[in-house]
Amino acid sequence: TGATGANGLTLSFNPVAKGVADALVVPAGYTATVLMATGDPINNATSAYSNVGTDDAASFVSRVGDHHDGMHYFGLNAAGTAIESNNATKGVLCSNHEVAEDLGFVHEAGPTEYGDKSTVARPTTEIDKEVALHGVTIVEVAKSGTTYQINRGSALNRRITAATDMEITGPARGTMMVTAYSTAGTNTRGTINNCGNGYTPWGTYLTCEENWAGYFHRREADTARTAKEVAAFKRYGMSNATSGRYNWSRPGATDGTDLYSRWNAGVTGASAAADFRNVGNTFGWIVEIDPVNATSTPKKRTALGRFAHEGAWPAKPVVGKPVVFYMGDDSRNEYIYKFVSTALWSASDANAGVAAGDKYMDSGKLYAAKFNADGTGTWELLSMSNSKVATYAAYAFADESDVVVNARIAGDAVGATKMDRPEWGAVNPVNGEVYMTLTNNVSSSGRGSTAVPLDAANPRYYADTKGTATNRGNVNGHIIRWKEAGGDHAATTFNWDIYLFGAQSDADANVNLSGLTAENDFSSPDGLWFSYATPGLLWVQTDDGYYTDVTNCMMLAALPGTVNDGAETTVTNAGVPSGQTAVKTRVGKKTSSTVLRRFLVGPKDCEITGIAETPDGKAIFVNIQHPGENSTSVTDPTQFTSHWPKGGSARPQSATVVITRNDGGKVAV
Ligand code: FEO
Ligand code: CA
Ligand code: CA
Ligand code: CA
């Protein structure tokens, strides 16, 4: 079945067929084993998980979190005390946990009402579980036979949750971060909605705060705030609804503790003594974590800007050059960003730990991307030193702190390009080209609406194959890529094209622009990751809502080419609102099963997100998020849409799986 693709590589597995079974399907000759599922203990002192909601709330800080998402494997030295990048037999695995299951499988009979948001005070035992299910799990793993197991006795094992103390570093440390928790504005409590991830050349883990805005509410009248504060709240989607996502603020409670009252971004909420007007400013950041020091305080790196961070992906560092991270803001019509450090890379900082983060991540230039119709692009500087920012009429930026806290507004000021929901990015180690998924953009104010016209970088508007009038816009998503001028990641100009368009293989050719077939058709790309053990191998993961009648979410292996290896094309869209016309764009070389092939299909109602590999490329870790999320009961198994991974009548669980090849070879090639 093999055929040589890019970089001399050959995909050597048989493609997995689309399917809707409640099973994790990998190619023949491969084995997938569950490493850690929601609720599993991370130490020997914690009991096995009941998975029926009866576990003690306090135990959840020692249990694997929920909704596994981005992750990374760091090799360890023999003593298990420091990073040793090439060790494939012993490592530390860091995994994000995005949210707590909305249906409440961790509670005995589901949650008390999440929401009469103004009067219901939820039990703290439920809130404590949900707070602990967010954040990051860090566990030591070791090779065991043909797979990997957690070392529950390791001193490295740790949970970071929505209640963990965090330090704030960089330009926004101080005034705009002042809350009752930290009157100096140097610290905040917790990290939430940890979606995609990142890692640094100095051996630390990056977790990212995506849809944090929905966790807060601002119950007070806006008259208590300045017009600027209100404008910023609105730009970031912090509503004045009466509750946040889980109603964690316990309205009416008199506990007086910021553990709960802080979810009310106000001054007169649950606790009159608590002023948390600025609490929203302390979320929406890239958070750096030392994976080999279980007592270290995570650092929120504000120089990288505040938005709905999907993740942060480093370019390969070059000695004497800045360190560069690429980032996406996953909301409809938001921007792609990059951070360029002030400090220049020194090889002696490889695996130097968080001290190197202080050096490289607290000072630098933050940019937003502008994609031009002619296939060129520019990085627009977000700083008071850019007159477009300093003199922006719609929002009077005060200083660099205001710019990073309100990076989206700075992006508006410089005219950055509104994208179709930027999710994961990845840098091709073969040639330095940068890829980013644009998962989809469908809504009345989404792509192709009057407010958000088609452009060359976001060129499709069509109905999905079900043809419903409401499912219009960029239904299946695409993957954009660019090449920095001169191959320099610090450059301010680039050339771009669209590597791949998601589509159903039976769709019209104007929709299936990449020529996908039954062996590789997909919708809504999200996770994206270039292997380092196998340079040139790209993994694509999906989080789809438009093709799930035909197939569960999936992961594909790809051998991509290069920017501008395809052709200029005019996308003939259907049903575009009047005043908008077909758009010319650049599409990468058409795919075939030789260079893009489905590797995995997940269980029902899951998203496939998060991937890591061992340094020898012989094992990959993949996260299966929220199987069974469309279940309608947590107590009646007949109403569960999935029982994965335990099977039988079990409640479904998110989980990390290890995938290895039965002959012990490298995965996929
Ligand atoms: Fe949490 Fe953008 O996916
Ligand atoms: Ca995602
Ligand atoms: Ca997604
Ligand atoms: Ca999800």
Nearest CA to ligand 1 atom 1: 195
* Largest interatomic CA distance in the chain: 68
Task: Compute, in angstroms, the gap from residue 69 CA to the centroid of ligand 2.
Answer: 7
What ligand is nearest to the CA atom of residue 329? 1
Structure confidence at residue 460 (pLDDT): 93
> What is the pLDDT confidence band of residue 268, given thresholds at 50, 70 and 90?
low
pLDDT in tens, 539-555: 999 999 899 999 999 99
Report the range of poorest mean pLDDT among 274-283, 434-443, 495-504: 274-283
Q: Is residue 120 a part of any domain in this protein?
A: no
Report the range of poorest mean pLDDT among 237-241, 324-328, 474-478, 658-662: 237-241
Q: What average pLDDT does the segment 67-86 reach? A: 96
For residue 210, the ligand 1 atom closest to its alpha carbon is 1
For residue 421, the ligand 1 atom closest to its alpha carbon is 2
Tell whether ligand 1 has an atom less than 6 A from the beta carbon of residue 195.
Answer: yes
Structure confidence at residue 68 (pLDDT): 98
CB of 210 closer than 8 Å to CB of 85: no
Q: Is residue 228 a part of any domain in this protein?
A: no
> What is the pLDDT confidence band of residue 469, given thresholds at 50, 70 and 90?
low
Report the range of poorest mean pLDDT among 14-18, 53-57, 246-250: 246-250
Structure confidence at residue 444 (pLDDT): 87
CB of 115 closer than 8 Å to CB of 126: no
Residues with CB under 5 A from ligand 3 (ion): 526, 543
Q: How far apart are CA 96 and CA 143, in angstroms?
A: 21
Task: Compute, in angstroms, the gap from residue 397 CA to the centroid of ligand 2.
Answer: 30
Identify the domain containing residue 612 by its residue range. 6-99+134-210+284-296+308-661
Report the range of poorest mean pLDDT among 239-248, 324-333, 348-357, 439-448: 239-248
Structure confidence at residue 269 (pLDDT): 47
Nearest CA to ligand 1 atom 3: 195
Structure confidence at residue 117 (pLDDT): 53
Length of the chain: 669
Structure confidence at residue 118 (pLDDT): 56
Q: How far apart are CA 311 and CA 305, in angstroms?
A: 12
For residue 328, the ligand 1 atom closest to its alpha carbon is 2
Task: Compute, in angstroms, the gap from residue 209 CA to the centroid of ligand 1.
Answer: 10
Mean pLDDT of the chain: 93
CB of 69 closer than 8 Å to CB of 197: yes
Q: Is residue 383 a part of any domain in this protein?
A: yes
Report the range of poorest mean pLDDT among 368-372, 440-444, 534-538: 440-444
Q: Please indicate whether residue 467 or residue 567 has the higher confidence score (pLDDT).
A: 567
For residue 69, the ligand 1 atom closest to its alpha carbon is 1
What residue ranges in 449-595 does DSSP mark as E strands?
A: 462-463, 472-474, 478-484, 493-501, 525-530, 538-542, 554-558, 567-571, 583-587
CB of 653 closer than 8 Å to CB of 38: yes
- Side chain identity at residue 37, one-letter code: A
> What is the pLDDT confidence band of residue 451, given thresholds at 50, 70 and 90?
confident
Half-sphere exposure of residue 292: CA atoms within 13 angstroms, side-chain side: 23
Q: What average pLDDT does the segment 633-651 reach? A: 97
Task: Compute, in angstroms, the gap from residue 505 CA to the centroid of ligand 1.
Answer: 25
Structure tokens belonging to residue 410: 């700075």
- Side chain identity at residue 642, one-letter code: S
Q: Is residue 42 a part of any domain in this protein?
A: yes
Task: Compute, in angstroms, the gap from residue 423 CA to the centroid of ligand 2.
Answer: 6
Tell whether ligand 1 has an atom less than 6 A from the beta carbon of residue 438.
Answer: no
Q: Which residue has the tokens 């926004």?
A: 172
363 Cβ contact partners less than 8 Å away, ≥ 6 residues apart: 170, 303, 341, 342, 343
Q: What average pLDDT does the segment 623-636 reach? A: 96
- Side chain identity at residue 321, one-letter code: K
Burial class (CB in 10 A: 0-12, 13-18, 19+), 28: exposed
Task: Compute, in angstroms, the gap from residue 528 CA to the centroid of ligand 4.
Answer: 15
Residue 73, pLDDT above cutoff 80 = yes
pLDDT in tens, 280-302: 999 999 999 999 999 999 999 99
Tell whether ligand 1 has an atom less than 6 A from the beta carbon of residue 607.
Answer: no
Burial class (CB in 10 A: 0-12, 13-18, 19+), 619: buried
Residues with CB under 5 A from ligand 4 (ion): 607
Structure confidence at residue 5 (pLDDT): 59
For residue 609, the ligand 1 atom closest to its alpha carbon is 3
Report the range of poorest mean pLDDT among 59-73, 207-221, 416-430, 501-515: 207-221
Q: How far apart are CA 269 and CA 224, in angstroms?
A: 12
Q: Is residue 187 a part of any domain in this protein?
A: yes
Backbone φ and ψ for 177, nearest 5 degrees, come out as: -105, 5
Structure confidence at residue 1 (pLDDT): 40
- CA-to-CA separations, 49 to 63, 64, 246, 380, 508, in angstroms, rounded: 8, 10, 23, 49, 48
Q: How far apart are CA 395 and CA 376, in angstroms?
A: 29
For residue 193, the ligand 1 atom closest to its alpha carbon is 1
- CA-to-CA separations, 553 to 273, 504, 627, in angstroms, rounded: 47, 13, 10
Q: Which residue has the tokens 């489905």?
A: 598
What ligand is nearest to the CA atom of residue 309? 1
Task: Compute, in angstroms, the gap from residue 522 CA to the centroid of ligand 1.
Answer: 17
Residue 97, pLDDT above cutoff 70 = yes
In this prediction the ipTM stands at: 0.94
Q: Is residue 542 a part of any domain in this protein?
A: yes
What ligand is nearest to the CA atom of residue 194? 1
Structure confidence at residue 180 (pLDDT): 86
Task: Compute, in angstroms, the gap from residue 310 CA to the centroid of ligand 3.
Answer: 9
Q: What average pLDDT does the segment 181-194 reach? A: 95
Q: What average pLDDT does the segment 403-428 reach? A: 98
Residue of 100, 331, 358 lying closest to 204 (CA atoms): 358
Tell whether ligand 1 has an atom less than 6 A from the beta carbon of residue 98.
Answer: yes
Structure confidence at residue 271 (pLDDT): 47
Q: Is residue 454 a part of any domain in this protein?
A: yes
Q: What average pLDDT does the segment 141-160 reach? A: 97
What ligand is nearest to the CA atom of residue 607? 4
Task: Compute, in angstroms, the gap from residue 68 CA to the centroid of ligand 4.
Answer: 9
Residue of 339, 332, 402 lying closest to 369 (CA atoms): 339
Report the range of poorest mean pLDDT among 114-118, 452-456, 518-522, 586-590: 114-118
What ligand is nearest to the CA atom of residue 543? 3
CB of 142 closer than 8 Å to CB of 149: yes
Task: Compute, in angstroms, the gap from residue 529 CA to the centroid of ligand 1.
Answer: 15
CB of 13 closer than 8 Å to CB of 597: yes
Tell whether ligand 1 has an atom less than 6 A from the beta carbon of residue 423.
Answer: yes
Structure confidence at residue 477 (pLDDT): 97
Question: Is the link from the previous residue into 645 a cis peptide, with omega within 30 of 0?
Answer: yes
Tell whether ligand 1 has an atom less than 6 A from the beta carbon of residue 210.
Answer: yes
Tell whether ligand 1 has an atom less than 6 A from the beta carbon of residue 334.
Answer: no
Structure confidence at residue 219 (pLDDT): 60
Q: Is residue 475 a part of any domain in this protein?
A: yes
The number of folded domains in the chain is 1
Report the range of poorest mean pLDDT among 84-93, 172-181, 251-260, 317-326: 251-260
3-state DSSP percent of the chain in helix, strand and coil, to 5: 15, 30, 55
Structure confidence at residue 243 (pLDDT): 67
For residue 211, the ligand 1 atom closest to its alpha carbon is 1
Task: Compute, in angstroms, the gap from residue 262 CA to the centroid of ligand 3.
Answer: 27
Q: What average pLDDT does the segment 441-451 reach? A: 89
Tell whether ligand 1 has an atom less than 6 A from the beta carbon of residue 209.
Answer: no
